[in-house]
Amino acid sequence: MFSLTMTMMVSIALPMIMMTLAITIAKKNISDREKSSPFECGFNPQTHARLPFSIQFFLISMLFLIFDIEIALILPLIPIMKTSSIKFWWISTSTFIVILLVGIYYEWNQGMLNWAI
């Protein structure tokens, strides 16, 4: 019973001591206006909070992320070929690549890949 009580007291006291030390050590004594102001990528937040950006650039970056993830899904198909049936592997790989090609054709057909409009 004594060891259980002692363990509980240490389990409560040790984190409390560590939190008190962290708060004491982390106190900032010097308050500078420049250091306490928010910093966003070098822009002054007091002048323009939102700077306009190209929506076309945003779409291209989203397409890059989507196809980058799909490439990550294609990479494991090579080692899987050794352990699975070649017919099942060929059908699943071909289906996946056809879906990718249909998606890129649709984006191209909609004009999403044209940089200058």
How do residues 57-106 score in pLDDT, each as one tens digit?
777 788 888 878 888 888 888 888 888 899 999 999 999 899 988 988 98
> Could you give the 3-state DSSP secondary structure of residue 43?
strand
80 closest CA partner among 71, 92, 65, 69: 92
Supply 113's token pair.
């890949």
pTM comes to: 0.47
Tell the residue number behind the tokens 């490439």, with chain if given: 71
Q: How confident is the model at residue 49 (pLDDT cuts 50, 70, 90)?
A: low
CB-hemisphere CA count at 13 Å for 115? 2
Domains of the chain, by residue range, sit at: 2-109
How do residues 1-35 score in pLDDT, each as one tens digit?
788 898 999 999 999 999 999 888 886 666 666 66
